[in-house]
Amino acid sequence: MIKLVSTCNIFNFYKGVDMKKMNKKITRRSMLKSTTALAGAALGSGLITGFPAIHASGTPTIRYLGTAVNMGSEPEKKLFEDTGIKVKYISKTTDEVVKTILTQPNSFDIVDSEYFSMPKLVPSGSLLGMDTNRIKEWSNVVTAFTEGKVNGKTIGDQGTAPKKVLYLKGPNSTEFSKEPTRYATLIPTVYNADTLGIRPDLIKRPINTWAELLNPEFKGKACILNIPSIGIMDAAMVVEAMGEYTYPDKGNMTKAEIDLTMKIFTEAKKAGQFRAFWSDFNESVNLMASGEVVIQSMWSPAITAVRSQGIPCIYQPLKEGYRAWAAGFALPSTAKGRQADICYEYINWFLSGWMGAYLNRQGYYSAVLSTAEKNMKAYEWDYWMNGKPAAQDILSPTGKKLASKGEIRDGGSYNDRMGAVACWNATMDENKYMVRKWNEMIAS
Amino acid sequence: MKINKYFLLALPFYLIFIFFFIIPLILTIIVSFWDYTEYSIIPDFIFDNYKYIFNKCFKFSNDLCVTFKTYLSTFYFCFMAWFFTLIIGFTVAYFLVFHVRSVGMQIVLFLICTIPFWTSNVIRMISWIPLLGRNGLFNSFLISTGVIDEPQEWFLYSHFSVILAFVHLYTLFMIVPIFNSLIRIDKSLIEAAYDSGANGFQILTNIIIPLCKPGIIIGSIFVITVVMGDFLTIGIMGGQQIASIGKIIQVEMSYLQLPSAAANAVILLIITLLLIWTMTKFIDIRKEL
């Protein structure tokens, strides 16, 4: 999704636009650099065995394609200090990342993608099977990924749950493996449980079910995101919570189920339930902060951005559970030699703890919690992970105050939040049909 | 030999058009007949993409189909934007040409009209949001003066806000060509009409408007083509609740449904060309320029 944005005003809207421009420059520059790096790789190939040796020739540089979640200047600096690797960010939206992997597989060295994109990407053969033997912390990756369990309890696996698409049959396979193998589609990095955001000061009563999104009480003050693949999941949570229908698998609807879901939302839209739809992270922040909308689908850092303006906003836990998402690293199928080694070293650094703490402090979760814990203060860990009241003020990685002493994280502990996951972001078999139906709803 | 020389002079222009216009256009048309999956497009010759666009469109027993509805709403925006930009654009240009005496002042005022163009059109659009919102400036002002009792919702994320933004963004496209036409009108024609006893309104309808028709048509073409393909303004000012063909194409592109997007683009192109063709029936632009 999008990185933590601490300041927010209408001008943030342009960040997306500016970033695209910047990326073009970055890409061109980094292309030059990595060409040099590749030349170095050609010279040194065959001799390379361990990681330190690869630094013998030139500054290692990687072009990192992804959404902005993990892209910050602090991680960039820290990475260079620790490993001597330079990283060039290419930041795009979730859908654009997929498009870039498929259409320009040589424009990046490493990609940070979401698990729900795997059913689209793996059959295309554009990504390399990731060798888990080269990941030092592989055995410590949380069970939410490997087994679909949190704290020993099996969590919801509707949709494209990571465990369904984690393993490949071989390094160049285009098929998923149900059994664990040595080769993974993505090396997990970050994940979270999403829910509805609300303005408690304007709603003034408890909210505890997804059905409230279509409650006529909030007519003209509700909002849903206009990204079909994610919006349909939120819509399904609402339909199920209203008792209209129980899906066998929300993440893989039949045409009839898609019709039903869209019919309910089309009717609500026609009745004026929604103030707007958002497709940009900052739009959701502005809608909420300005009071145009009091209840809407939201992402965790957007809540933080609203709160950092001093406006109350809650990431409301709901009884039906959360919609989860998860991301991880992959290399393009053309990756080899030194450049691939550098990427693996980068992934190992990523999972070694500093970055995990950085992610946890933004309200996300790191795929390897054991190393992240060592890089966080005990009071931080208690607040973010154990659902305990903050022993002192909680600061973001950039030093902004996120919570005062005594406050408790929305939704509570890791086990409470991730344990209550009901479904995952998904790519459905009927995706084509779903996107069309979604367009029809917008047009209605 | 003469022809060759002129051909060479025009060659760069030909090349630009062939490479950046004709070839992409042909590719778009070809791709619109292809098949596609989640991650690839497959060369083929099928009409499914077009069939889908007009799915259920010719069974008039039900509601209008999505495509017709979307085009109807786009036509509506086109008409409203065209109407208001024309009225405002003509008035401003008329004032600049006939009421501002000195050329220096004309240039200064004309430049002032272009000042909004120094910022991006997205910024100009977004700046309306804090003004029109539920707790925005307009609502607070109207409530504090007692004109209304509670905030008006239709200011923002409505047809009104979309049309407002279009008019704000594109009036200059009307002002410039109309100004250009008006300034070339021979003032003695007006004097002659006046001497022959015509009143102000008659001069306007019999002399000025017929003579600035080319300016009006050129301005109209600008405004209508821009509004037909727009998805950003309708998206932002309409709260993404109002459909536009541009938005449908954009969503299809982001899901790599390129053939489907191409088919939509071809239809949009045909309709827009038809509109422009109709307008050029009113006047021979080449002759007038």
Contact B248 A438 (CB under 8 A): no
What's the CA gap between A130 and A111, in Å, rounded?
12
Query: Of A44-48, A275-279, B157-161, B189-193, which range is least confident?
Result: A44-48
Query: Which two three-digit tokens encode residue B250?
Result: 């954009």
Query: Of A49-58, A175-184, A338-347, A396-405, which range is least confident?
Result: A49-58
The answer to whether residues A137 and A348 touch, using CB atoms and an 8 Å cutoff, is yes
What's the pLDDT at A15? 36
Query: Which two three-digit tokens encode residue A362?
Result: 């933004």
What's the pLDDT at B2? 62
Contact B240 A279 (CB under 8 A): yes
The answer to whether residues B155 and B132 touch, using CB atoms and an 8 Å cutoff, is yes
The answer to whether residue B123 scores a pLDDT higher than 60 is yes
Mean pLDDT over residues A218-240, rounded?
92
- Mutation target for A interface from B233, B237, B251: give the one with most A CBs within 10 A: B251
Mean pLDDT over residues B49-53, rounded?
89
Residue-wise pLDDT tens digits, A171-226:
888 999 999 999 999 999 999 999 999 999 999 999 999 999 999 999 999 999 88
Q: Which DSSP string corresponds to B198-228?
A: --HHHHIIIIIHHHTHHHHHHHHHHHHHHHH
Mean pLDDT over residues A272-295, rounded?
89
Query: Which two three-digit tokens encode residue A94?
Result: 């979730």
The answer to whether residues A120 and A432 touch, using CB atoms and an 8 Å cutoff, is no
What's the pLDDT at B62? 66
Residue-wise pLDDT tens digits, B27-44:
999 999 999 887 788 898
Does the pTM exceed 0.80? no
Q: Does B39 touch chain A (CB under 8 A)?
A: yes
What's the pLDDT at B289? 61
Mean pLDDT over residues A250-259, rounded?
94
Q: Which of residues 106-145 of B touch A (CB under 8 A)?
A: 120, 122-123, 126-127, 129-130, 133-136
Residue-wise pLDDT tens digits, A358-403:
999 988 999 999 999 999 999 999 999 999 999 999 988 888 888 8
**Nearest Cα to A369, choosing from A137, A77, A52, A108?**
A137
Contact A274 B256 (CB under 8 A): no
Mean pLDDT over residues B211-227, rounded?
92
What's the CA gap between A159 and A164, in Å, rounded?
9
**Nearest Cα to A322, choosing from A260, A384, A383, A234?**
A234
What's the pLDDT at A388? 94
What's the pLDDT at A18? 40
**Nearest Cα to A213, choosing from A155, A251, A261, A283?**
A261
In A244-339, beta strands by DSSP E:
274-278, 295-298, 314-316, 322-330
Task: Label residue A42 by pLDDT band (50, 70, 90).
Answer: very low
Query: How many Cβ atoms from other residues are within 10 Å of residue A28's Cβ?
Result: 9
Q: State the fold for domain A195-322+420-443.
A: D-Maltodextrin-Binding Protein; domain 2 (3.40.190)
The answer to whether residue A30 scores a pLDDT higher than 50 is no
Query: How many Cβ atoms from other residues are within 10 Å of residue A72's Cβ?
Result: 18
Of these ranges, B3-12, B112-121, B134-143, B262-271, the one predicted with the greatest mean pLDDT is B262-271
Task: Label residue A444 by pLDDT band (50, 70, 90).
Answer: confident
**In angstroms, what separates the C-alpha of B61 from chain A's closest C-alpha?**
17
Residue-wise pLDDT tens digits, A107-117:
999 999 999 99
Mean pLDDT over residues B255-269, rounded?
91
Q: Which string of b and e fits A310-327 if b means at least 16 CB within 10 Å?
A: ebebbbbbbebbbbbbbb
What's the pLDDT at A35? 41
Domain boundaries, chain B: 66-288
What's the pLDDT at B287? 67
Q: Which of residues 13-32 of B touch A (CB under 8 A)?
A: none
Query: Which two three-digit tokens encode residue B32?
Result: 């619109």
Mean pLDDT over residues A164-174, rounded?
91
Q: Does A47 touch chain B (CB under 8 A)?
A: no
User: Average per-residue pLDDT in chain A?
Assistant: 85
Domain A10-192+324-374 has CATH 3.30.450.20: no
Rg (CA), chain A: 21
What's the CA gap between A107 and A29, in Å, rounded?
12
Domain boundaries, chain A: 10-192+324-374, 195-322+420-443
The answer to whether residues A102 and B39 touch, using CB atoms and an 8 Å cutoff, is yes
Which run of H or of E encompasses B16?
A: helix B2-17
Residue of B nearest to A436 (CA): B252
What's the pLDDT at A28? 41
What's the CA gap between A240 and B234, in Å, rounded?
32
Tell me the CATH number of domain B66-288, given options 3.90.1150.10, 2.40.400.10, 1.10.150.530, 1.10.3720.10.
1.10.3720.10
Mean pLDDT over residues B42-69, rounded?
83
- Mutation target for B interface from A103, A118, A230, A292: give the one with most B CBs within 10 A: A292
Mean pLDDT over residues A278-287, rounded?
85
What's the pLDDT at B1? 54
Mean pLDDT over residues A96-100, rounded?
87
Going by C-beta distance under 8 Å and a sequence separation of 6 or more, which residues neighbour residue B39?
Answer: A102, A120, A121, A123, A124, A126, B256
**In angstroms, what separates the C-alpha of A236 from chain B's closest C-alpha?**
19
Q: Which DSSP string corresponds to B31-93?
A: HTT-EE-SS-EE-----HHHHHHTTTTT-TTSSPPHHHHHHHHHHHHHHHHHHHHHHHHHHHH
Task: Label residue B288 by pLDDT band (50, 70, 90).
Answer: low
Task: Label residue A57 by pLDDT band (50, 70, 90).
Answer: low
Mean pLDDT over residues B61-90, rounded?
89
Residue-wise pLDDT tens digits, B127-164:
898 899 888 899 999 999 988 888 888 899 999 999 99
Residue-wise pLDDT tens digits, B4-13:
888 888 899 9
Residue-wise pLDDT tens digits, A408-426:
999 999 999 999 999 999 9
The answer to whether residue B65 scores a pLDDT higher than 90 is no
| Helix pair angle (B245-254, B213-229), 10° resolution | 40
Between A and B, how many CB-CB pairs are < 8 A? 95
Percent of chain A with pLDDT over 90: 60
Residues, chain A: 444
Please give the residue that has the higher pLDDT: either A249 or A12: A249
